[in-house]
Chain A
Amino acid sequence: MSLIHIEDLSKHFRVLNRREGLGGAFRDLFSRDYRTVRAVDGVSFDIEPGEIVGYIGPNGAGKSTTIKMMTGILKPTGGTLLVNEKAPYDNRIHQAMVMGVIFGQRTQLWWDLPVIESFRILKEIYKVDRRTYDEHMAMFDELVGLSALYPRQVRTLSLGQRMLCDITASFLHNPRVVFLDEPTIGLDVSIKAKIRSVIEELNRTRDTTIILTTHDLGDVEALCRRIIIIDEGKILYDGGIDKVTALFGTYRTLKVQIDESCETKVDAVRASLDRRFGPDRGITVACREAPWTNITIDQDRTPLSDVLTHVMGAFAVSDVRIVEISMENVVRRVYDGALE
């Protein structure tokens, strides 16, 4: 039996359509017009014990809603959802003992108290025995030097320190599954690496199942062997990481600034590149973030340096940047059938 079993899961919200203007606001007082949003729409997957799964997708794709259903905060509208063979929503208190949750934007620690007090309170809340608690704290002290933070008030911690403490807190009761919602958001590179290695270590030594939602493709690449991509409430891809890495691994976006606005030049750039490299060479030109003209390049087909040289020669370029492909771009590519 898999640890998490999801079949045809859906969650619909009723959202109020607000009318425009003062008159509209007045009419809203008397008659209301609702529409249904299908935040999660017929999702199915199974997760085995010990897996690290990346659950990714653009903003508003339905990731958080799925996580909230798995943690028992939201009740599904339809379908089957079992975590550790039980429905989370109907057994909330019991289920809370087998799972840990980290919301990257919020902390579960007591803001005004020294760090160690939060662990002490959580130890009682989760009924963790003395020995397990001591072992756990010793392990974290060894991994990240946590004991130096014990006397510090939570509000004085840096974002990275706080996240390490939050991770310690969510693994304290040795849960079967931990949901990590954006654990590295806003962190710098070195602390990101530390957090990734801690998560990996916990998964390896305790066989804890980990569901990771993130916008950072680096997290996914470092931790996950399997990823599930969701968009508009539906699953686009569920499978090994390698195919997806290949997808974002070879793509780079070259951003060039030619004029004040990219609109005037985007067609000229596209035409010029077509003339130089010919069609079907994995080059797309777009104007989405003025004043930048974005040129996305598949490096397997056309070397980035060639494109750069050509654009520099043909246009009066004032600024250049090279960025790795974004989550939104990966999803768009998967959506366009890049994995089929």
Chain B
Amino acid sequence: MRSYLAVVRGSTMMGMVYRFGFLAATVGNVVYLGVAYYLWKSVYGDATTIRGLTFDQTFLYVALGSTLFIVLKTYVDWNLYSEIREGIVAIYLVRPIDFQLYMLASCTGFFLLSVATLVVPTILLMVFVFQVSIPLSAPLALLPFSLVFAFVLTFCFDYGVGLSGFYTESIWGISTVKDTLVLVLSGALIPLQFFPDTIRDILRWLPFQAVYYTPLSLVTLPDEGWQHVTRFGVQVGWMVVLLAATRVLYGRAVKVLRIAGG
């Protein structure tokens, strides 16, 4: 355990080396929030609610959604892919570490840093500049856990795609498909309430919405009660399933490396 904590510590320090990247992401996000504000303002027009959501709820949802989208980018797919291509992966294989946990630890530092540099400023901006009220409620207590689990879920998607680099010479296509699926089906782009009901019923049981909709709804829909618990359960369930699935995938993928040489 201590060894993985040391890796988390190292990756946090590495993130600070790239501090300009974080600054740029923060500025970019602020600009995006301004655009989203006027876009959804015009969508609402004179209406007070659309599909049961007030403007404040929708805007808060969209704003936090775009912020999370940056925070939850692990880049493990691209990093792992280039490490496989260049053979650097051999260095990990001769260390006494669990590959999956090591990969998770090495992107955790970036996650922690971007929570501090993006989520916190965005919330302050929402409250003080855009004057959006954030209701304090019991479900908010689940938020930190739900955020961390959302991070682990994105990690599993990205890690899984990265592992496909053992099989294929380019992961560009797979990675793009994954990004689009997650962005649309998770409710990161548009709140799930705006989808047709039948599609929503299907999406509810898929892992994608557990990444964005589950943590975001804790903030924007404080009155939903038990539905939060159900969603939280689905999130935990998918996390366990995908962690196990990527372990199996790694076991198979690493054999391919061993057969094909490197």
- Whether the Cβ atoms of A13 and B7 lie closer than 8 Å is no
> Which among B26-34, B38-46, B252-260 touches the partner chain?
B252-260
CB distance from A162 to the nearest CB of B (A): 14
**A72 interfacial contact with B, CB 8 Å:** yes
Query: A residues within 8 A CB of B134?
Result: none
CB distance from B254 to the nearest CB of A (A): 9
Name B9's closest neighbour in chain A (CB-CB).
A121
Name B87's closest neighbour in chain A (CB-CB).
A106
**A35 interfacial contact with B, CB 8 Å:** no
**B96 interfacial contact with A, CB 8 Å:** yes
Given A13-B260, A13-B261, A112-B17, are A106 and B91 neighbors across the interface (CB < 8 Å)?
A: yes
Name A99's closest neighbour in chain B (CB-CB).
B94
**B5 interfacial contact with A, CB 8 Å:** yes
Partner of A93, one of B2, B14, B97, B257: B97
Q: B residues engaging A (CB < 8 A)?
A: 2-3, 5-7, 9-10, 13-14, 17-18, 86-88, 90-91, 93-98, 255, 257-262
Partner of A97, one of B6, B96, B258, B262: B96
- Whether the Cβ atoms of A125 and B94 lie closer than 8 Å is no
Given A13-B260, A96-B95, are A106 and B2 neighbors across the interface (CB < 8 Å)?
A: no
The DSSP consensus for interface residues of chain B is helix
Interface centre among B6, B97, B258, B262 (most CB of A within 10 A): B258
Query: A residues within 8 A CB of B13?
Result: 113, 117
- Whether the Cβ atoms of B258 and A125 lie closer than 8 Å is no
Q: A residues engaging B (CB < 8 A)?
A: 13-14, 39, 65, 68, 71-75, 89, 92-94, 96-97, 99, 101, 103, 106, 108, 110, 112-113, 117-118, 120-121, 123-127, 153
- Whether the Cβ atoms of A113 and B94 lie closer than 8 Å is no
Name B98's closest neighbour in chain A (CB-CB).
A93
Query: B residues within 8 A CB of A108?
Result: 91
CA distance A89 to B251 in the complex (A): 13
CA distance A121 to B5 in the complex (A): 9
* Pairs A–B under 8 Å by Cβ, sample size 19: A13-B261, A14-B259, A14-B260, A68-B90, A72-B94, A73-B93, A73-B257, A73-B262, A75-B255, A103-B90, A106-B88, A106-B91, A110-B10, A112-B17, A113-B13, A113-B14, A118-B10, A121-B9, A123-B6
CA distance A74 to B94 in the complex (A): 11
Query: B residues within 8 A CB of A65?
Result: 261
Query: B residues within 8 A CB of A124?
Result: 2-3, 5-6
Given A117-B10, A121-B6, A121-B7, are A73 and B96 neighbors across the interface (CB < 8 Å)?
A: no
- Whether the Cβ atoms of A73 and B258 lie closer than 8 Å is yes
Query: A residues within 8 A CB of B86?
Result: 106
Partner of B6, one of A14, A96, A125: A125
Given A39-B261, A120-B6, are A110 and B94 neighbors across the interface (CB < 8 Å)?
A: no
- Whether the Cβ atoms of A127 and B94 lie closer than 8 Å is no
- Whether the Cβ atoms of B97 and A125 lie closer than 8 Å is yes
Query: B residues within 8 A CB of A120?
Result: 6
CB distance from A10 to the nearest CB of B (A): 13
CA distance A222 to B255 in the complex (A): 38
CB distance from A235 to the nearest CB of B (A): 20
Query: B residues within 8 A CB of A94?
Result: 96
CB distance from A222 to the nearest CB of B (A): 26
- Whether the Cβ atoms of A112 and B95 lie closer than 8 Å is no
CB distance from A45 to the nearest CB of B (A): 21
CA distance A122 to B87 in the complex (A): 20
Query: B residues within 8 A CB of A13?
Result: 259-261
Name A173's closest neighbour in chain B (CB-CB).
B96
Known: A113-B14, A125-B6. 5 other contacts (CB 8 A): A14-B260, A73-B93, A106-B90, A121-B10, A124-B6
- Whether the Cβ atoms of B3 and A93 lie closer than 8 Å is no
Name A88's closest neighbour in chain B (CB-CB).
B94
- Whether the Cβ atoms of B88 and A113 lie closer than 8 Å is no
- Whether the Cβ atoms of A110 and B14 lie closer than 8 Å is yes
Query: B residues within 8 A CB of A112?
Result: 14, 17-18
- Whether the Cβ atoms of A71 and B258 lie closer than 8 Å is no
Query: B residues within 8 A CB of A73?
Result: 90, 93-94, 257-258, 262
Given A39-B261, A110-B10, are A125 and B88 neighbors across the interface (CB < 8 Å)?
A: no
CA distance A232 to B18 in the complex (A): 46
CB distance from B168 to the nearest CB of A (A): 14
Query: A residues within 8 A CB of B91?
Result: 101, 103, 106, 108
- Whether the Cβ atoms of B17 and A74 lie closer than 8 Å is no
Query: B residues within 8 A CB of A106?
Result: 86-88, 90-91
Name A65's closest neighbour in chain B (CB-CB).
B261
CB distance from B98 to the nearest CB of A (A): 8
Query: A residues within 8 A CB of B17?
Result: 112-113, 153
Given A117-B10, A121-B6, are A101 and B94 neighbors across the interface (CB < 8 Å)?
A: yes
CA distance A20 to B176 in the complex (A): 31
Name A96's closest neighbour in chain B (CB-CB).
B96
CA distance A7 to B106 in the complex (A): 39
Name B14's closest neighbour in chain A (CB-CB).
A112
- Whether the Cβ atoms of A75 and B7 lie closer than 8 Å is no
Name B1's closest neighbour in chain A (CB-CB).
A124
